[in-house]
Structure 1
Amino acid sequence: MKFIIFFLGMSTFCFPQKISFIYETKCKVNSEKQDDVYSENMILDIKNNISIFRDSLDKKNDSIKLNHGNGRYNMGVENKFYVKKNLAQKRIEKVITYLGTDYLLPVEEILNWNITSEQKLIGKYKSQKAETHYGGRNWIAWFTTELPFADGPYIFSGLPGLIVSIQDLNNEYSFNLIEVKKGGTIFDARKKTVKIDWKKYETLAKSYFNDPFNINSKGWKTATFTDPKGNTVDISVKNKEIQNSILQKNNPIELNHKINY
């Protein structure tokens, strides 16, 4: 029997101890190249209905930032997977760090879950199938009540158990649980944020595309950099490389917010 669970009506679980779930994340960033797949382990930290999902570099840089250091954040605006959730308040927010500013993008698209009767064993966890639509994509998820958290990787949450595996129907994005760690502390280094919407997000992305090194705001008419061989190269060459890279990564996870440069 199938039934619908609406995200806004979901209850949450409270677990006083901090716990981390490691997900193998795979993304097909170019829809025209079958072998252009980006893979990285990402971390979901949960404690007391608060969670943060981020890649290992972001977590490391957050720790450095909290200790008054300077982290090395990835350039650009697109293809960022940093997500904060308040499960009790049903609040989901993406965080995009750009030019030293942390931008907060609320995710207001509601996840309407269709839970099916289909079950299977994933790793050691008895899991059940659920389906939803998000970001212009259809998704298949497997959750387990053996891990009593109404959460999952990226923005996905609201099921009566942890999502251990989820992928879109085109097999272009997938998140699979590979490890569970207990203990430690959950820390948030990006509390001072500027709230934006998807329109402003697009403006920031186009600003980066047009001026990756932000030389226009510095009043520079030209600039150079030194390549690994010690050669001096005009910044316009590097700009072109970055722009071509952005154009190649033409398959964002939120297809309904794809940017046309």
Structure 2
Amino acid sequence: MKLIIFFLGISTFCFSQKFSFIYETKYKLNSENPDDVNSDNMILDLKNNVSIFRDSLDRRNDSIKLNGGIGRYTMGVENQFYVKKNLAQKRIEKVITYLAKDYLLPIEEILDWKISSEQKMIGKYKSQKAETTYGGRNWIAWFTTELPFGDGPYIFNGLPGLIVSIHDSSNDYSFNLIEVKKGDNIFDARTKTIKIDWKKYEALAKSYFNDPFNLNSRGWKTATFTDANGTTVAISVKNKELQNYILQENNPIELNHKINYK
């Protein structure tokens, strides 16, 4: 009985504290080029079953905004990893920032975890295997009850401990825990949002693809820019470059919502 009370005391203490979990994130936006791998450290800030997952630059950008500064300007809508979770209410929301506006995209896909008996050490944590499907991909995760938080990177959650490693079966996306820190306040600079669904998300993405520099809304017919060499180039040339880039880097984490650009 004393052991149970002691464990509950530890668990209660852990859940009342603020933690930051840093994940090394690797992803391939061009699935046909295995050597084209993006890498970033992304951070899961967690307190009392509420969390925000974002890349390190987004986290820094939020801090700047809350202190009266001007945040980073995001051009496109794809390949953004900003996710808010309320685990108690089972609410997961993805925030898309585009043209200085924040759009809230609810994630309603249910994670049906299959927990395996297979175990192994990942770093210093005894971890257990689990699998699920999300976004048209099969995912293999490893979680540890030594960190008693039912959360994880990106939208992933709902296991009996923190997810320390997860990747899809094609190895296009992976998240691996590399550091645990006592967290600061979970600051949220993206509270004024416009709610959208996946259909609206696709419309925003196609709007960016057709007019990357938002010239139409400004009433501009033509424009030029000067490159690093001082050469003046028509904006239509730059538009074409960006469109080709979008077409080549079209391997979203939600593969079932991959956009067919035309």
Normalised TM-score (structure 2): 0.93
The alpha carbon displacement at 1:126 in A equals: 0.3
Q: In the alignment, what sits opposite 1:6? A: none
Contact kept? 2:74, 2:100, Cα under 8 Å: no
Q: In the alignment, what sits opposite 2:93? A: 93
The alpha carbon displacement at 1:73 in A equals: 3.3
Contact kept? 2:53, 2:83, Cα under 8 Å: yes
The alpha carbon displacement at 1:13 in A equals: 10
How do 1:21-40 residues align onto structure 2 when only pairs under 5 Å count?
A: 21-40=21-40
In structure 2, how many angstroms separate the alpha carbons of the residues matched to 1:218 and 1:31? 35
2:79 is the counterpart of 1:73: no
Question: Which letter maps to 1:61?
Answer: N
Q: In the alignment, what sits opposite 2:48? A: 48
More divergent stretch after superposition (201-210 vs 62-71):
62-71
Contact kept? 1:58, 1:73, Cα under 8 Å: no
Contact kept? 1:22, 1:42, Cα under 8 Å: yes
In structure 1, how many angstroms separate the alpha carbons of the residues matched to 2:188 and 2:138? 31
Contact kept? 1:95, 1:104, Cα under 8 Å: yes
Contact kept? 2:92, 2:107, Cα under 8 Å: yes
Q: In the alignment, what sits opposite 1:116? A: 116
Q: In the alignment, what sits opposite 2:223? A: 223
Question: Which letter maps to 1:34?
Answer: P
SS of 1:202's partner is: helix
Q: In the alignment, what sits opposite 1:257? A: 257
RMSD over aligned Cα, in angstroms?
1.3
2:165 is the counterpart of 1:165: yes
SS of 1:167's partner is: strand
In structure 2, how many angstroms separate the alpha carbons of the residues matched to 1:233 and 1:63? 36
CA spacing shift, 1:127–1:242, aligned 2, 3 Å: same
Question: Which letter maps to 1:45?
Answer: D
The count of residues paired between Structure 1 and Structure 2 equals 250
Contact kept? 1:153, 1:163, Cα under 8 Å: yes
The alpha carbon displacement at 1:74 in A equals: 3.1
The alpha carbon displacement at 1:183 in A equals: 3.2
Question: Which letter maps to 1:18?
Answer: K
Q: Which runs of 5+ in 1 are unaligned?
A: 1-11
The Cα offsets for residues 13-33 of structure 1, whole Å up to 9 and x where unpaired, read as: 972221100001011111111
Contact kept? 1:14, 1:49, Cα under 8 Å: no
The alpha carbon displacement at 1:243 in A equals: 0.7
The alpha carbon displacement at 1:112 in A equals: 0.4
Q: In the alignment, what sits opposite 2:198? A: 198
Poorly superposed stretches of 4+, deviation over 6 Å: none
Contact kept? 1:42, 1:53, Cα under 8 Å: yes
Counting helix residues as a fraction of each chain, which structure ranks higher? 2
Identity %: 82
2:180 is the counterpart of 1:175: no
Q: Which runs of 5+ in 2 are unaligned?
A: 1-11
Question: Which letter maps to 2:155?
Answer: I
The alpha carbon displacement at 1:34 in A equals: 1.5
Question: Which letter maps to 1:71?
Answer: G
In structure 2, how many angstroms separate the alpha carbons of the residues matched to 1:104 and 1:153? 18
Question: Which letter maps to 2:100?
Answer: G
More divergent stretch after superposition (236-245 vs 98-107):
236-245
In structure 1, how many angstroms separate the alpha carbons of the residues matched to 2:137 and 2:224? 42
Question: Which letter maps to 1:93?
Answer: E
The alpha carbon displacement at 1:238 in A equals: 1.2
CA spacing shift, 1:242–1:13, aligned 2, 3 Å: farther
In structure 2, how many angstroms separate the alpha carbons of the residues matched to 1:72 and 1:229? 25
- Pick the structure with greater CA Rg: 2
Q: In the alignment, what sits opposite 2:148? A: 148
Question: Which letter maps to 1:50?
Answer: V
Contact kept? 1:136, 1:256, Cα under 8 Å: yes
In structure 2, how many angstroms separate the alpha carbons of the residues matched to 1:161 and 1:218? 50
Contact kept? 2:73, 2:99, Cα under 8 Å: no
